[in-house]
Amino acid sequence: MNKEGDRLTEFTVNSNLCGFVHKIRGSKKGNKIIVDIETPCAKVKKISHMEVP
C-alpha cells in the first residue's frame, strides 16, 4: 500500500514498437485511478500521467 492507503500496482513493459522499456505505476486515489508511466520514449511521455474517473 502507498502512503494514501490505496493499493499500488507496478509493472514493466518491453515495447516491440519503439524498443524502449516502460515502467507503469497505477494507484487509486479517492474515486480516481492514477496511472504514471516512466519512460525515455518521447511519444509515450506525452501521455505519461493519466487520471481516470
Domain enclosing residue 24, as ranges: 8-52
Q: Which pLDDT value is given to residue 3?
A: 57
Domain total in the chain: 1
Whether 1 maps to a domain, the answer reads no
- Domain-located, residue 37: yes
Please name the residue that has the C-alpha cell 516491440.
Answer: 16
**28 lies in a domain?**
yes
- pLDDT score at 50: 93
For the stretch 21-50, pLDDT in tens is 999 999 998 889 999 999 999 888 998 999
Q: Phi first, then psi: what are they for 45, rounded to 5°? A: -60, -30
Q: Residue 30: its pLDDT value, please?
A: 87
pLDDT level of residue 1 (50, 70, 90 thresholds): very low
The answer to whether residue 2 is domain-embedded is no
* pLDDT interval class at 17 (50, 70, 90): confident
Helical residues (DSSP H) of 1-53, grouped into ranges: 42-45
> Is residue 23 domain-resident?
yes
